[in-house]
A and B are shown apart, each in its own frame.
Chain A
């Protein structure tokens, strides 16, 4: 859940250097926060081409509020079903986190029903955390359901993916961490998302994971991200795109890696920030087997193999020539 910007806020920016991902050819990326239900198959293709081998799709809101419990059920089912399949067609391993997002926690009648069905989903295969949860307006209802879901995380042994608010970010981030600790969660199992230069120090000092969302206009730019990597090093830091239905970029992770490379960050550090750390953090769920995607293109996921055909592995989707006016 990323966008509070309205589209009018978007100003035209001066032309920037063209994308070149040459420097990162052959590197693998893990995008631990991206809302693929809002994206097209072209994005999947582009992500696969750029080296994204796995991703996590956190449950979030749809841009407008849901009005009934079945919408939630169908949405969660999409994350563990259809979207997982769509992703697999491009050779990208799809994981998700399941939770009640903070905005919709404010509809208490519905939130109650959501809490009832969450246990049906959090134990599913490939669910790597409770998320994205936390604060938006920081209302009492948001706090109530945040706390209840922290308890669910403890009970299920799953990591937590925390969305930090846009407004009063610093206070909201601190409060989110305070409450997590109050509930006895190990900070090493909690990923605090959407950090800025202002929040990162405290998050790291207290032992949490610090995720950065590279998202134009409203969140981090990747040049700022390079500076943060320089200042804080790679430990417990990860980047994601949080690409969704707003003006966002599903290639934010590989692009950031490419920029880091150009600006002299070491390959080892780039790998930690754009791949390894996300795996380490979320694999605490017991639901990530790196062998499923580490050798993308050649790995065979036995569970999706039928009659000897690995129908679902990468590169299977026919390509169309986008530059042609002919559609056949």
Chain B
């Protein structure tokens, strides 16, 4: 964390007035600094170098501060500077910030979860953020934040992913979206898709991303429907899902669509391009 602190300090130096880092490091009640911070730093979006982004990502894979505002980063820096020796006190101090936080503060707090000491004590808090009804707070937990994938148990993880779909989030920005895919989630998603079909509502084609690896007899029925009744995007999604699968009947189906197979092999078709 010392290294992370150093990099973030450099980023702040490059993006804020000369006295800001000094101000952040002054002895002061955490509550006060945390709340007053934007008056000192402003709220401009930061610029970071490619090297800095890579350094951060190499220390905490998946973590990115790209597009953050300077106050958000400043608040993360304050948390990094907190004395973490006494676990209970450390928890209480940060939890108190959560309890009285306004919107911008919540965003900063949740996106700083991967920077906090004792990762295991923030699990409940993380799920609380997932339950938030405030779009940008949810995104702070979900987007480019490696904390959930590393710390949430399967049930909590699945809830987060489902909530991302239910609220129209860009699931491609969720760190660990593919690596933490699981059969239980694939089945829940299948049920959800059936519900959408029954209601004659649109189905987000990215949902199939989480089904592909687990295609079996039951899930294959859904995939077939994509090819039989779906539009081009549905068939593309179906093809991508099958490309993740070893289920033989599915692979056989895909051979009937050589142009999709080629597009996937040439990397012209992938989940990211599908959502665009």
User: A302 an interface residue at 8 Å Cβ cutoff?
Assistant: yes
A123 at the interface (CB under 8 A from B): yes
Compute how far the CA of A303 lies from the CA of B46 in the bound complex, rounded to whole angstroms.
Answer: 11
- B234 at the binding interface (Cβ < 8 Å): no
Q: Which one of A81, A306, A311 lies within 8 Å of B101 (CB-CB)?
A: A81
User: In the complex the two chains form, is B133's CB within 8 Å of A77's CB?
Assistant: no
Contact of B143 among A125, A126, A306 (CB under 8 A): A306
Q: Which residues of chain B come closer than 8 Å to A82, judged between CB atoms?
A: 133-134
**How far is the CB of B213 from the nearest CB of chain A, in Å?**
27
Whether a CB of chain A sits under 8 angstroms from the CB of B102 is yes
Interface flags for B10-44 (1: CB within 8 Å of A; 0: not) read: 00000000000000000000011001101100011
Residues of A near B119 (CB, < 8 A) are: none
Smallest distance from the beta carbon of A124 to chain B beta carbons, Å? 5
- Chain A residues lying within 8 Å of B35, measured Cβ to Cβ, are 120, 123-125
Interface string of B134-158 (1 = CB under 8 A from A): 1110010001000000000000000
* One of A81, A304, A311 near B106 (C-beta < 8 A): A81
B67 within 8 A of A: yes
Min CB gap B115→A, angstroms:
19
Task: Name the A residues within 8 Å of B82 (CB-CB).
Answer: none
User: What is the 8 Å Cβ interface bit string for chain B, positions 78-117, against chain A (1 contact, 0 not)?
Assistant: 0000000000000000000001111111100000000000
C-alpha gap A308/B44 in the complex (Å): 14
A77 to B134, Cβ gap below 8 A? no
CB proximity of A127 to chain B, nearest CB, Å? 8
In the complex formed, the residue of B with least CB distance to A76 is B100
Contact of B125 with A by CB under 8 A: no
A307 interface contact, C-beta 8 A: yes
Which residues of A sit under 8 angstroms from B102, Cβ to Cβ? 77, 80-81, 84, 124-126
Q: How many residues of A contact B (CB 8 A)?
A: 25
Distance from A257 Cβ to chain B, minimum over Cβ atoms (Å): 30
B131-187 interface with A by 8 A CB criterion: 133-136, 139, 143, 170, 173
Q: Which size class do B's interface residues fall under? A: 20 to 34
**A306 close to B139 (CB less than 8 A):** yes
Q: Give chain A nearest CB distance to B197 CB in angstroms.
A: 15
- Cβ 8 A contact of A286, one of B39, B43, B134: B39
In the complex with contacts A123-B32, A307-B143, A77-B103 CB distance below 8 A: no
Residues of A within 8 A of B44 (CB): 302
Interface string of B35-59 (1 = CB under 8 A from A): 1101100011100000000000000
Q: Is A39 an interface residue (CB 8 A)?
A: no
Question: B137 to nearest A CB, angstroms?
Answer: 8
Q: Are A312 and B100 in contact (CB under 8 A)?
A: no
Q: B35 — nearest CB in chain A belongs to which residue?
A: A123
Let me know if B69 is at the binding interface, CB within 8 A: yes
Contacts of A84 in B (CB 8 A): 102-103
A188 at the interface (CB under 8 A from B): no
Asked if A305 and B106 make an inter-chain contact with CB atoms under 8 angstroms apart, the answer reads no
What is the bound-complex CA distance between A255 and B100, given in angstroms? 36
Beyond contacts A85-B135, A304-B136: 17 other A-B pairs, Cβ-Cβ < 8 A, are A77-B99, A77-B102, A81-B101, A81-B106, A84-B102, A123-B32, A123-B35, A124-B35, A124-B102, A125-B35, A125-B102, A126-B102, A302-B69, A307-B67, A307-B173, A311-B135, A312-B135
Write 23 A-B pairs (CB below 8 A) sorted by A numbering.
Answer: A77-B100, A77-B101, A81-B101, A81-B106, A82-B133, A84-B102, A84-B103, A85-B133, A117-B100, A121-B100, A123-B36, A124-B105, A126-B102, A286-B39, A302-B43, A302-B44, A303-B43, A303-B104, A306-B143, A307-B143, A307-B170, A312-B135, A312-B136
